[in-house]
């Protein structure tokens, strides 16, 4: 098995793409042999991505009230979770989040809206002016997660300064009907094609630990490689009370790391971003994500759950002898460790995470009861 891993690693290091059969053979690596898989995934990461680490940050600008029935999501109106109804952050709150995200080292900042897709009124009356303010601040690049896109919407985003669109496939085509029934897999694929045709960079990945097989995992990753996504976010299910997946067990850390390594073998040049579920699934093994092949991670909070303090992630990267880069590949300011995370209240009962200064990092106990 070790000879197989090394031979396929040498193929990837030479710039050749693994076949589906070869990737399937790597998915069978288990036990102590997974450490060899990590070792070679790390070699591939260094060969294609160097020693730089990328951070990104997101903000839930509009949360809740979603018409779709994604079984993992707290924001779906189909389920009784702690997120009920809909609320939005103010422009100033989003702008403050963007500025603070840059200060803690994020080189891109994602504006995320719940719902199937944006309306014209949202685009013209809210998003366009907001993007202008973010651009004027000159701190970070704006990305967007807005749901399904039309060609007109994609061109609008491109023309108004959005550099990248995130739209996850979530899982394989085969397993997808077990997770979502209100819109087809083809709609997600079509949105990625539309975004790419409009000149937008693509960020697309999925969630692992929803009951899918290794074959499903390979299906999704190969689909994303065929599309040519620029960034592949890897999320590990953090099961949310009130959703149909609430009783799904968390993936063990070693399985998460094996998934990361397989993705690096399959798609050597992609920006491989470890995102949601990192803290709760990897726990004390979070620093291993880079040895397993990742070169990017989300910093700060997620959409409706807490991450950990940016300072902790900075220390992790420094301890590994790696470097992180901020906006425009420039050095991160020396005071970047000072901001930690906080929360601001929406009108009503919502309490959505954004960045703020001068508050202690959120504890795991508090995070466990945060809005999902």
* DSSP assignment letter at 361: P
The neighbouring-strand residues paired with 62 are: 88, 113
Handedness of CA 316, 321, 327, 331 (dihedral sign): positive
Q: Which of left, alpha, beta for 64 (phi over 0: left; psi -120 to 50: alpha)?
A: left
Q: Which CATH class is domain 52-368?
A: alpha beta
C-alpha neighbours within 13 Å on the C-beta side of residue 269: 9
Is 102 exposed, middle or buried, given 0-12, 13-18 or 19+ CB atoms closer than 10 A? buried
Residue-wise pLDDT tens digits, 16-60: 999 999 999 999 999 999 999 999 999 999 999 999 999 999 988
The neighbouring-strand residues paired with 66 are: 76
Q: What's residue 253's pLDDT?
A: 98
Residue 63 in this model has a pLDDT that exceeds 80: no
Residue-wise pLDDT tens digits, 1-20: 889 999 999 999 999 999 99
Which one, of 257, 93, 245, lies nearest residue 175 by Cα? 245
- Looking at every residue in the chain, the average pLDDT score rounds to 85
Q: What's residue 293's pLDDT?
A: 99
Residue-wise pLDDT tens digits, 100-147: 899 989 999 999 888 788 889 889 998 999 999 998 888 888 999 999
Handedness of CA 270, 144, 307, 176 (dihedral sign): negative
Residue 233 in this model has a pLDDT that exceeds 60: yes
Using an 8 Å Cβ cutoff, are 243 and 71 in contact?
yes
* Distance (Å, whole) CA 309 – CA 292: 22
Handedness of CA 319, 256, 370, 103 (dihedral sign): positive
Residue 129: count other Cβ atoms within 10 Å of its Cβ.
12
Q: What is the mean pLDDT of residues 207-219?
A: 99
* Distance (Å, whole) CA 329 – CA 333: 12
Using an 8 Å Cβ cutoff, are 114 and 62 in contact?
yes
Give the CA radius of gyration of the chain: 19
What band does 353 get if pLDDT is binned at 50, 70 and 90? very low
Q: What's residue 345's pLDDT?
A: 33
Handedness of CA 27, 217, 60, 343 (dihedral sign): negative
What band does 364 get if pLDDT is binned at 50, 70 and 90? very low
Which one, of 280, 281, 277, 283, lies nearest residue 297 by Cα? 277
> In b/e form, how buried is each residue of 347-361, taking b as 16+ CB within 10 angstroms?
eeebebbbbbeeeeb
Q: What's residue 304's pLDDT?
A: 57
Q: What's residue 85's pLDDT?
A: 66
Of 182-196, 278-292, 296-310, the least confident: 296-310
* DSSP assignment letter at 176: G
Distances (CA, A) of 226 to 14, 193, 312, 350, 356: 19, 11, 35, 39, 39
* Distance (Å, whole) CA 245 – CA 73: 9
Q: What is the mean pLDDT of residues 156-171?
A: 96
What band does 347 get if pLDDT is binned at 50, 70 and 90? very low
Read off the pTM: 0.87
Is 15 exposed, middle or buried, given 0-12, 13-18 or 19+ CB atoms closer than 10 A? exposed
Angle 288-169-69 (CA atoms, 0-180°, nearest 5)? 110
């Amino acid at each position: 098995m070790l000879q197989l891993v090394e031979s396929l690693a040498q193929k990837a290091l030479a710039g050749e793409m693994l076949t589906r059969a070869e990737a399937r053979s790597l998915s069978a690596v288990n036990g102590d042999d997974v450490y060899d898989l990590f070792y070679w995934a790390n070699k591939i990461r260094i060969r294609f991505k160097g020693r730089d680490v990328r951070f990104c940050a997101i903000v839930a600008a509009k949360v809740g009230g979603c018409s779709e029935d994604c079984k993992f999501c707290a924001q779906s109106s189909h389920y009784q979770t702690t997120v009920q109804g809909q609320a939005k952050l103010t422009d100033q709150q989003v702008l403050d989040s963007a500025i603070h995200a840059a200060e803690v080292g994020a080189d891109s900042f994602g504006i995320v809206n719940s719902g199937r897709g944006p309306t014209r009124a949202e685009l013209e009356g809210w998003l366009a002016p907001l993007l202008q303010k973010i651009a004027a601040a000159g701190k970070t690049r704006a990305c967007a997660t807005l749901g399904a896109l039309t060609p007109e919407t994609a061109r609008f985003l491109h023309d108004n300064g959005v550099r990248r669109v995130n739209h996850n496939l979530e899982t394989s085509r085969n397993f997808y009907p077990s997770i979502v029934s209100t819109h087809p897999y083809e709609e997600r694929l079509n949105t990625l094609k539309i975004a790419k045709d409009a000149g937008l960079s693509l960020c697309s990945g999925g969630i692992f630990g929803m009951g899918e097989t290794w074959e499903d995992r390979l299906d999704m990753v190969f689909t994303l490689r065929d599309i040519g996504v620029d960034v592949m976010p890897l999320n590990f299910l953090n099961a949310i009370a009130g959703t149909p997946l609430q009783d799904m067990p968390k993936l063990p850390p070693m399985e998460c790391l094996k998934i990361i390594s397989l993705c690096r073998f399959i798609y050597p040049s992609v920006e491989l971003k470890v995102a949601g579920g990192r803290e709760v699934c990897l726990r004390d093994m979070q620093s291993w994500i880079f040895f397993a092949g990742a070169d990017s991670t989300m910093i700060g909070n997620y959409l409706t759950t807490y991450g950990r303090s940016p300072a902790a992630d900075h220390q992790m990267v420094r301890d590994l002898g790696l470097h992180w880069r901020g906006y425009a590949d420039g050095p991160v300011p020396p005071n970047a460790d000072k901001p930690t995370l906080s929360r601001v209240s929406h009108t009503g009962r919502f309490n959505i995470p954004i960045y703020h200064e001068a508050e202690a990092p959120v504890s795991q106990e508090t995070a466990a009861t945060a809005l999902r």
